[in-house]
Amino acid sequence: MTNPSLLILAGDGIGPEVMTEVRKVIDWYGAKRDLSFDVTEDLVGGCAYDAHGTPLTDETMAKAQAADAVLLGAVGGPAYDNLDFSLKPERGLLRLRKEMDLYANLRPAQCFDALADFSSLKADVVGGLDIMIVRELTSGVYFGEPRGIHKEGNERVGINTQRYTESEIARVARSAFELARKRDNKVCSMEKANVMGSGVLWRDVVTEIHAAEYPDVELSHMYADAGAMQLTRWPKQFDVIVTDNLFGDLLSDLAAMLTGSLGMLPSASLGAPMANGRPKAMYEPVHGSAPDIAGQGKANPIACILSFAMALRYSFDEGDEATRLEDAIEAVLADGLRTADLIGEEGSAPVSTSEMGDAIVAKLDASL
């Protein structure tokens, strides 16, 4: 039996540093849990431009298409700000999402009890928070036509078109319902059906899919602006939220900050099943490349490690091992270990990127 394949694209800035800590965890699973992966590494983003003159080569794209999962670090940095738009590091990431057709973006917002005080909300409101936002990623207002800026008379006009087909809505709705079945079995669909035709269609299709295929899942609907208000009022009322590309962009960032630190948040982007039954998938931390701290050992590797935990759960059907890894991270935080982003002004000395990775591996050892 061959090992599942994992393509690592560490990228720019702190990407290689946090990915080094993920490799420690991957190696631990191979040595201690007989769970090995065929790992290959390649370039994406600014480092790919430096080496090849493009943020993503065709060869790397082909590797991503063939891999059972892609794990990405971060891309970008000020050194590439003056490049032509088509050559900017972020174009490599967008090409991966588009050509792999990764239409369902999973953004968890999980608040470990030890970090509840880092949220801008009261600890009792966010303590133990564990919700998932499923954002449609490849259609909607960011891709609809017509779009662009043109002249009408004496002034410029900017146009973006919100466009969704039934099938685009149906497939992301199914992703949300399937995910809910593995969690608390609740889905809240958010749109603006009160003012947008695309919102009416969104609500209709989600309702139809629910009635025909997922009647066991509790479904509710909410206007997206009301959803934003409810996320800040009492976020623990939600389990899975499914929404379109634009609203998902906004709501997932709002939910991210409920937890107190972007350095703690992973994400997954999933597509259609491959021949082996696994979905095409890419996993990445929500944080950016943070070039201002790159190479200083200050980066928090937890979001990238949690992204690997998501890969264990959603690509490799290793939910128990994903939970083991999440529990190890929670135990490290409960012990009081903090990287620099989790230290307040009067806090104790932070641990380094590598020290945090080593501590998580030690907790994995203790779990056996």
**Confidence band (pLDDT; 50, 70, 90) for 195?**
very high
CA dihedral (113, 116, 118, 124) in degrees, to 10, reads -170
Please tell me which residue in 12, 29, 49, 192 is annotated as part of the active site.
192
Please tell me which residue in 27, 50, 101, 142 is annotated as part of the active site.
142
Q: Are the C-beta atoms of residues 321 and 35 closer than 8 Å to each other?
A: yes
The reported pLDDT for the residue numbered 275 is 83
Is residue 249 part of the annotated active site? The answer reads yes
For 104-129, the pLDDT digits (tens) are: 999 999 888 888 888 888 888 888 89
Please tell me which residue in 249, 280, 341, 363 is annotated as part of the active site.
249
Is residue 225 part of the annotated active site? The answer reads yes
Give the chain's mean pLDDT: 94
CA dihedral (239, 71, 261, 249) in degrees, to 10, reads -60
Please tell me which residue in 50, 113, 184, 225 is annotated as part of the active site.
225
Range 320-325 average pLDDT: 97
Give me the residue spans of the domains in the chain: 1-105+262-368, 130-258
Is residue 216 part of the annotated active site? The answer reads no
Please tell me which residue in 27, 50, 253, 358 is annotated as part of the active site.
253
The reported pLDDT for the residue numbered 247 is 97
Neighbouring residues of 280: CB distance < 8 A, sequence distance ≥ 6: 65, 100, 101, 102, 270, 271, 272, 273, 274
The three-point CA angle 120-125-130 to 5° equals 100
> Whole-structure pTM over 0.85, yes or no?
yes
CATH class of 130-258: alpha beta
Q: What CATH code would you report for 1-105+262-368?
A: 3.40.718.10
Both tokens of 324, joined, read: 């083991």
The reported pLDDT for the residue numbered 123 is 86
Range 88-113 average pLDDT: 93
Q: Do domains 1-105+262-368 and 130-258 have the same CATH topology?
A: yes
Is residue 335 part of the annotated active site? The answer reads no
Is residue 239 part of the annotated active site? The answer reads no
Confidence check: pLDDT of 16 > 70? yes
